[in-house]
Amino acid sequence: MIQAIGLTGDTRKDLSPVVDDVTFEARAGQVTALLGASGAGKTTVLRLMLELQPGRGITYFRGRPLHRLAHPAREVGVVLGDVPGHPARTVRAHLRMLCAAVGVPAGRADEVLEALGLVGLRDERLDTLSRGMDRSLGLACALLADPHSLVLDDPTAGLSVEEGRWLHGLLRAHAVQGGTVLFATSDPKEAARTADRVITLDEGRLVADQEAADFARTRLRPRVAVRSPHAARLGALLAKEARRARRSVEIVHEDGNRLSVYGSTCADIGETAFRHGILVHQLTDEVGDMGPTAAVEAAPPPSAEAPDGGDPPSLPPPISVRPALSPQHPLRYELRRATGIGAVSLTAAAVLVASALVSLLFAHAGHTPRGRLLAAWPSEFPLPPAALGAGLLGAVSFGDEFRHPALAADRGGVPRRLGLLAAKLLVTGATALTLAFLAVGFDFEVLYIVYGREVAEVPADWLSLSASWAGLAVGCAWAGVLAAGIFRTTIAGLAAVLAVPVVVVPLVQKVLGEGSVPVAAGFAARMRGVALLRWPFGGERYLVAAVRMIAQPVGGALALSLAALLGAYLLATRRGRAR
């Protein structure tokens, strides 16, 4: 059961709220329609219920507000529009990624596709789906965690009659199994035909709460639709005959040559037209709407009391925009997100080709140290291709979340959770390491094939160079992740990566001068003199290597940038939770 109590939207200046003190309930085992014309406040009500929009009031899902639920996706499935997934991702990959977000096994994606009859769409890309297919995928996403309640905003908009009938059949099946279904619509006939109960809104206020049968009797009435090139003459004759026979007939002249006749039948209208020789193009029975402000005596909603049976609150509590709790399995989610599209492999291929070409070009020119040559990093470049590629992949890992927010499709912004951040840092770090060493190996092989062993020779200090190279690649990837997470865009992440050699390194060089490396050289001896115990397994060597790396201008600049970005990310996370 869903119980909405006192939902009121925030007012702006002296304007009245879009939604004002809306109270109703959607019962378990039933389909409830939230009916209203465009601008009546249906979407606002749903967003207030789901704590996506600030306001006042409270909504209980089986007796508990949404922010008190440990796993909201397992209680309520939501469809508020098109599926905001990455266009290059397949339907199955998208669902498997969301399975990790809601904490269910990956096999659940195939179960839902089979249950909804969507197996044929499993390999379709999201950007190739029609409107009906997209709505079907949205429903599949909502059903992944097997929620008790379904909340949908205008689910049949843009669908054909057959697609709409199929979707309403699924909603009915969910209700028959004991679930709660609430959907918003602007079509009174759809509400009367498919719902068990109809909640009517008009200008942000609840005007009726009725069983579907009562709604159809009081809000809908039969009519005859007539089209004729002589509609005005036919209407006058019908009105004249109704007055003569003292029958109550209402004739509405609509656009063009159409009449809507209330209180008559097709047979009577057809006979009148035949007697007077009037050509008729259409003559059919319809069900008409009396309009949203029809005189309906709305009974007090049964949900006007709190779930515990107490008195209704005099002032509804405030509604705060709540952060999303997804993903339940951050590492699993991030792995499926990164591998679900071809961006990683395409970027890696481009990096390897660019790195090899740069190495060949500067090997031909000469005067480039062997270590920098294998990394395709001449002094004229701010960063080598592999480091730029790692930074780009890091920025994309968060930037794609904000561009295509599949993780928080119905929960507002993408969550800045530390668990999600740790998963992204781990996955992008491993990707950066793999890309960096693949680039060096590829450069070595290409140089060996073109120039032979004279150029392609392993440097004597390869171990320290490898450590520095790994630190550079991982640091660039992490800088991209953090900056994109802070500024919510991939461009900002890539800009932060480029800012390290262009802006931060010159500043660090001015501060440290030339004495940074000699200071690091005596670090091991000083540590042995200060420490009371010897470092196990020669641990001081690794510590000295790390200090040497940070003591370099690029290493120090990168460490400084990462520390600043991490602090900014934590501050943004804390401020987001405070709101």
Domains of the chain from N-terminus onward: 2-217 (3.40.50.300), 229-280 (no CATH), 330-578 (no CATH)
Confidence class for position 322, pLDDT limits 50, 70, 90 = low
Look at residue 296 in the predicted model and tell me its pLDDT: 42
pLDDT of 15 above 70:
no
Confidence class for position 233, pLDDT limits 50, 70, 90 = very high
pLDDT of 306 above 60:
no
Tokens found for residue 425: 């840092």
**Residue 201 backbone class (left: φ over 0; alpha: ψ -120 to 50; beta: rest):** beta
Across 442-466, average pLDDT: 81
Look at residue 302 in the predicted model and tell me its pLDDT: 45
DSSP state letter for 125: B
pLDDT of 199 above 90:
yes
Least confident of 49-53, 371-375, 481-485: 371-375
Look at residue 285 in the predicted model and tell me its pLDDT: 86
- CA-only gyration radius of the chain, Å: 33
Confidence class for position 428, pLDDT limits 50, 70, 90 = very high
The closest alpha carbon to 273, from 262, 253, 259, belongs to 259
301 Cβ neighbours under 8 A, 6+ residues apart: 23, 24, 25, 206, 209
DSSP-H helix ranges across 452-489? 462-487
pLDDT of 512 above 70:
no
pLDDT of 486 above 70:
yes
| Spatial distance between the Cα atoms of 519 and 40, rounded to a whole number of angstroms | 71
pTM of the model: 0.77
Look at residue 255 in the predicted model and tell me its pLDDT: 74
Residue 98 backbone dihedrals phi, psi, to 5 degrees: -70, -25
pLDDT of 438 above 60:
yes
Confidence class for position 290, pLDDT limits 50, 70, 90 = low
- 70, burial (CB in 10 Å: exposed 0-12, middle 13-18, buried 19+): exposed
17 Cβ neighbours under 8 A, 6+ residues apart: 8, 9, 10, 11, 55, 204
Least confident of 125-129, 173-177, 256-260: 256-260
Percent of the chain with pLDDT over 70: 84
Across 203-221, average pLDDT: 86
Confidence class for position 519, pLDDT limits 50, 70, 90 = very low
pLDDT of 404 above 90:
no
Beta strands in 302-386 (DSSP E): 318-319
pLDDT of 548 above 60:
no
